[in-house]
């Protein structure tokens, strides 16, 4: 993968209606070191790539700013695939209403329900995925990512720097 400019990478975290400020994966047992993708990080990886141990419980927190107009009935949808086959598909509500950010320091925060990584040596490896934010039934933001299941006992980490 060719290296992209920081501006190109940051643009993936924005759309006409919102800016994703942080996308955080909190893995139970590793609370001291959540996996955080931040728009303002100068070390922002070339791609979103999470490495999480098999069997781990985790949840996602999305911090974002609303632009232009309030958002109504937002939800987060995530699809994970292995070799073209969907292995995980979940859609969860975020907020009923999210007002336009007037205060520059304020961010909306959506803490999504816990989920669990499958377990067993057969499930280890890389998966491709897509995350979407919907307003009602319309996609307003999406992001491709790589989800890698690693051996239990290893520390969760971020990849995508190569």
pLDDT digits (tens, 9 = 90+) for 30-79: 988 889 988 888 777 778 899 999 999 999 999 999 998 999 999 999 99
Kindly state whether residue 149 falls inside one of the protein's structural domains.
yes
Query: Given phi > 0 = left and psi -120 to 50 = alpha, else beta, which region is 109?
Result: beta
Kindly state whether residue 55 falls inside one of the protein's structural domains.
yes
Give the CATH number for residue 58: 2.70.50.30
Q: Which two tokens stand for residue 23?
A: 């996308």
pTM over 0.85: yes
User: How far, rounded to the nearest angstrom, does the alpha carbon of residue 67 sit from its chain's CA centroid?
Assistant: 20
Strand bridging mode 71-82 / 125-135? antiparallel
User: What's the total number of domains in the chain?
Assistant: 1
């Amino acid at each position: 993968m060719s290296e992209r400019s920081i501006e190109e990478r940051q643009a993936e975290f924005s759309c006409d209606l919102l800016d994703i400020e942080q996308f955080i994966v909190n893995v139970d047992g590793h609370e001291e070191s959540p996996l955080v993708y931040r728009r303002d990080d100068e070390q922002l990886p070339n791609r979103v790539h999470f490495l999480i141990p098999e069997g781990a419980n985790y949840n996602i927190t999305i911090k974002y700013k609303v632009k232009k107009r309030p958002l109504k009935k937002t939800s987060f949808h995530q699809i994970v695939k292995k070799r073209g086959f969907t292995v995980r598909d979940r859609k969860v509500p975020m907020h009923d209403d999210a007002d336009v950010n007037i205060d520059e320091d304020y961010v909306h925060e959506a803490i999504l329900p816990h989920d669990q990584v499958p377990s067993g040596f057969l499930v280890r490896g890389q998966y491709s995925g897509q995350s979407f934010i919907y307003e009602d039934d319309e996609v307003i933001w999406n992001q491709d990512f790589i989800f890698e299941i690693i051996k239990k006992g290893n520390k969760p980490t971020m990849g995508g720097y190569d």
